[in-house]
Every structure is written in C-alpha cells, then in structure tokens.
Chains A and B, each alone.
Chain A
Amino acid sequence: MSCMKALSMNAHPSLVIGEPIETQHAAAQPEAMVRFENISKTYPAYRGKPGVSALRAIDFTIARGSITGVIGRSGAGKSSLVRLINGLEKPSAGRVVVDNSDISALTGRELRLAQRSIGMIFQHFNLLSSRTAADNIALPLEIAGWSKANIRARVTELLALVGIADKHDRYPSELSGGQKQRVGIARALATRPSVLLSDEATSALDPQTTRAILDLLANINRALGVTIVLITHEMSVVRQLAKEVVVLDAGHLVESGHVADIFTHPKHPVTQSFLAEVTGDSLPVSLASRIVQEPGNHAVIRVQVRGAGAGDTLIARLARELGLDVSLLSARIDEIGGQHVGSLVLGIPGGDSAAARTLVWLSQHQVSTERLGYVA
C-alpha cells in the first residue's frame, strides 16, 4: 500500500499518460465495432402498465475507434440502445454485433466474458461506497480473476491515467463529482475494453467539470483507441466530443451522420430543436416579450445561418441591395466542425412590402427564414 502511494504522486488534473497501456490494434480503415441489425426492443405490459416499444427497426454501425454521440429526449430509447451493446438488455428482434460477435445471442458465462471487453460509465457514477477509489477500480479485475499483484499494478496505472493518483485511498464520499467520474472511467477501462459506453456521464456535473471529463474521454479515445459511445440529452456534449451522431426520437433513429454534417444541415425537427439549444435559437426574453402579431414598425425575421462563412456579409449585402436600415435584434453564431451554425434575428422597417422583399432576397440566397411577428 505505502509503496503504491509513493509511486502515484502525480496529481495533475488532466490526462496523464505515462507508459502506454497496450494500444488497441486500431485498424486504419473504418471497421465496424458495433453493428445494430434491424433492432427492435419492446417491454411487455407489466402490472397494469401498458407495454412500451422502446426501439423500432434500428439499423446502424459504429466504427472502430470512433466517438459516437446518441442523442434524444428522455424516453427516446437511448438507455435501451446502449444497454443492448453490453448485453444488459436483449433485443426483441434483430442482432447486435460487437467486435464481430453477436452479443445478443450470448448468455451466462459467455456473456460475462464478452462484457469484460465493454466498459460502462454512469450518470451517478455508481461507485461502491464501501470501497476506496483504488478498490472500486479493482472490482472488475477481481471479478475477472486477476492476481492481487497484477491488480495493484493496473490500478496504480489507471489512477494516473485519469489524473487522480493521489486519491488512491479515498472513499467516494470524500471525492468531488468530477473525481468520482474519473474513478468510474478508470474502473470502466480496467479490463482493457475495446468499447466504452457512457450513460449521461456528465449530466450530474457542472459545466467546467463536464468539459474536463469530456477532454479526458477524448484523450483516452486518442491514446487507447477505445471506441466510445455516449448517450446524452445535451447537444453541447455531442458537439464537444463526438465525431458521429445518432438522433433518436420515440424509438426511431431519425438522423445519423458526421457531427459537422448534422449540425450544418439538420433535417429532422427533433435534431433542429436540439441544435436550437446550442445555437441559441431561443430569443432573449426582453425581445420575445416585445414581439406581437399585429403589424408594427419592424417585421421580425429569424435567419438560420449554416455553412462555412455563411453569415459573414449577409446583413451588409441585404441592407445595401434592398436599401433597408436592417437592425440586428439578436444573434448567435457558433463554429462547429469548421462550419458556422447559428441564427440572426433581424428587424426590417418599411411595412409588409419591405418584409416580403427581404424574405424573397434571403430565399434567393439559400438562407432559411422564419417570420416571428412585429415589434413596435
């Protein structure tokens, strides 16, 4: 115990990677790590509650070494989806193939062996209160039957990897939320899994800690080549960490693809509403309260800005070409995956005819618009 303490002095908060911890033989070509083949999941009626169809005809692939965000409202089927990957739940129909083996067909001992190569972290950390940080990380290794000496060495390595080497002998009650999640991550990685599942892992954390944990996950993905699947209801998490995104709504896969593509060209209303959260489509309260539907001095038009440099000179050109004193009432533009994503709220003077000309001009420039009303 004491010699371990001496070894693990590094208390740096961010990722510390000393010895490389067996890099996975990550293939260069995008090879499937997880494959959902026409998955449906139905929960039967139970004790008066009607049956629920949680997932319907889900069909998609997660590439080896990728980071995929699964986003959806609560009840959209995210939890079921992620639990199908590690066999905690069985599909009602279809197959889930993980690392070329059909995990949905495994049971008993075979399933438990397969589960060792799939780590999982949780929203509420799920650490054992009766075990120290080190002993929590040791648990999956004890279960896998590792020797005491190997466990000790591996735990020291993992504590350093997640940047809490000095918390070796601390109980969860003595750790902050971020530190608890670091223990959770170390525990999930203990058996050197090829897939790491994250079930709303940052939803109980403050924004700064969230960022630090997401950075840690990104570094782990880079350093170890672990495929990461994260489910979340926050688009900001997807934006910061994921390369691929899958949007679920009421058990249906409504959209999927590269994060940059989805963020710049969201097709499904659910995706658009998620994007609104990060791109700030909601109006400032002071402005929203002034907007009325009866004609007034200025027509209020919302302009969606998507694409590289799309918003750069838009307003200047609009004002010049139409000869209008366009006022900018609210604006927010983010850069996501090298693309501009955001919305501008414009006030157009000169009555309905000016507003109509503006809408025509904007549509000619392939900009999507929405009339919100008028302000006095």
Chain B
Amino acid sequence: MSPELINLIIQATFESLYMVGIAALIGTAIGLPLGVFLATSRKGELFAAPLVNRVLGAVVNATRSTPFIILVVAIIPFTRLIAGTSIGSTAAIVPLTIASAPFIARLVEAAIREVDAGLIETASSFGASPIQIVFKVLIPEALPGLLLALTLAIVSLLGYSAMVGAVGGGGLGDLGIRYGYQRFMPEMMLAVVVVLIALVQLVQSTGDYLARRVNRRLRHR
C-alpha cells in the first residue's frame, strides 16, 4: 500500500475519532442529565413530573426510532444553522450528537434504575436533598453501569460515523466507501475494517477495565 493511501487512512482515523469524541462528549452532556431525569421523574419518584417524563420519553423514542441516515438528511438545515455548513466532519458532529444523546439517556436511565431504591430512602432518611441524592448516591452507585453505557454509546457512534460519509462527513466509513467500494480497492476496504475493529476493541476493553475498577460490589483482590 502506498504511503499516500496510508496517510489517507491515518487522516480518516483522526476524523472519525474527532467526530465520535466530540459527539460522545456533547451527547453525554445532554444524555446524562436527561437520563437521570427520566429515571427519577415518574410518579412518586425523586423529581416526580410524570407529564414531563412522558413527553421527554416520547421525544427520545421518536429520535431513537428514526433511521440514522434519514436523520442525517432530515436535519441538514439545522446542521447548517449550528455548524455553518452541512458538509465535513464538523457538520457531521451535529447529527451524531442528536442521535447519541437520546441513546445515552436511555442507557443512563437503565443504569440509574438499577440502583437499589432502598439507598434513595436511606439518603432521604438522613435529610439528603434530591440533588444530593443524585450526586452522592445515584451517580456513584451507578458508575460501573454508566461507564459501560458510555462505552456502548461510543462503539455505536463509531458505527454511525461510517454512515455520515454519505453526506461528505469524512472519516473511516467515507474512505472505505469511496476507495474500497467505488474505486474497487479491496485492500483499502480491508484496512478500514481492520482499523475500525481495533478501535472498537480498544474502546470496549478500556470501558470494561474502568467499569471493573470502580465496581466495589463484588469481592475482589
């Protein structure tokens, strides 16, 4: 493989990491509080607001059920508004974020709901405010689950990021389609797939390791 092609792969890898990294960051910034709220706002819960809960849940479901490629195209005007353009890696971050935030929210909701309700009652019994319960009980106790959720979200984002090549988003997926498929360069396709597999493997192993490290539930050492 020629040095130019290798350079292309390296550049595409950085584009992918850039898109996925920023989208995961903003997606978490939106998804984490949203997920905590979804997990604590049903009737009788910490921030009980059943109506808001149902509306937000419906919005999350709607976003989650829209196929990603359709979402990318459908929100082009919005992307242009936010990023100034609808082409390129930076523009691709917008649909990636919009797709990942509700996904992360649902994962966070599931992780938070795993926390024993007895712990919420216990914290309430010694006068903890709902906000204190979130930061001192729910998030620390759900941390292993939250880290695994984030890992899953990043892996999914890597997959999504391959699709934004279709609208000129750049990255590994784009490279694979343009060179591997359209120019009949199977070795390029193979290289892209190998890099993606390595990235997913790396993200998953790191996530597993961190989740294990913060998990004090089981006897270890």
Contacts and interface: CB of A to CB of B under 8 A. Distances in A.
Contact of B125 (A120, A130, A172, A173): A120
Contacts of B6: none
A142 B136 contact: yes
Contact of A143 (B116, B132, B218): B132
A109 B129 CA distance: 8
Interface in B106-155: 116, 118-119, 121-129, 132, 136-137, 140-141, 143
B216 A143 contact: no
A233 interface: no
Contact of B219 (A112, A113, A115, A174): A174
Contacts, number: 73
B219 A173 contact: yes
A210 to B, nearest CB: 20
Interface in B37-60: none
A252 interface: no
A327 to B, nearest CB: 52
A80 to B, nearest CB: 13
A130 B122 CA distance: 15
A112 B131 CA distance: 13
Contacts of B121: 88, 126
B183 interface: no
A60 interface: no
Contacts of B119: 126, 128
B122 A122 contact: yes
Interface string B190-221: 00000000000000000000000010111100
A111 B127 CA distance: 7
B124 A143 contact: no
Contact of A116 (B122, B126, B217): B126
Contact of A130 (B127, B128, B214): B214
Given A122-B118, A130-B216, A113 B127 contact: yes
A144 interface: yes
A129 B125 contact: no
Nearest to A112: B127
A228 to B, nearest CB: 15
Q: Which of B116, B127, B129, B132 has the most CB of A within 10 A?
A: B127
Contact of A139 (B118, B124, B129, B136): B136
A290 to B, nearest CB: 47
Contact of B126 (A109, A119, A124, A171): A119
Contacts of B141: 128-130
Contacts of B218: 173
Nearest to A142: B136
B174 to A, nearest CB: 41
A86 interface: yes
A139 B123 contact: yes
Contacts of B127: 111-116, 140, 143-144
Contact of B124 (A88, A128, A129, A174): A88
Contacts of A191: 126
Contacts of A111: 127
Q: Which of B119, B122, B132 has the most CB of A within 10 A?
A: B122
B123 A143 contact: yes
Nearest to A113: B127
A171 B122 CA distance: 18
Contacts of A129: 141, 216-217
Contacts of B123: 139, 143
Contacts of B129: 109, 112, 143
Contacts of B126: 115-116, 119-120, 139-140, 143-144, 187-188, 190-191
A42 to B, nearest CB: 15
Interface string A135-153: 0000110111000000000
Given A126-B119, A128-B141, A129-B216, A115 B125 contact: yes
B128 A143 contact: yes
Nearest to B221: A174
A114 B127 CA distance: 8
Contacts of B118: 122, 124, 126
A103 B49 CA distance: 25
Given A88-B121, A112-B129, A140-B126, A128 B137 contact: yes
Contacts of A56: none
B214 A112 contact: no
Interface in A80-136: 86, 88, 109, 111-116, 118-120, 122, 124, 126, 128-131
Interface of A: 86, 88, 109, 111-116, 118-120, 122, 124, 126, 128-131, 139-140, 142-144, 171-174, 187-188, 190-191, 197
Given A115-B125, A120-B125, 18 more contacts: A111-B127, A112-B127, A112-B128, A116-B126, A116-B127, A122-B118, A122-B122, A128-B141, A130-B143, A131-B140, A140-B127, A143-B127, A144-B127, A172-B216, A173-B218, A174-B219, A187-B126, A197-B125
5 contacts: A113-B127, A116-B126, A118-B125, A122-B118, A140-B126
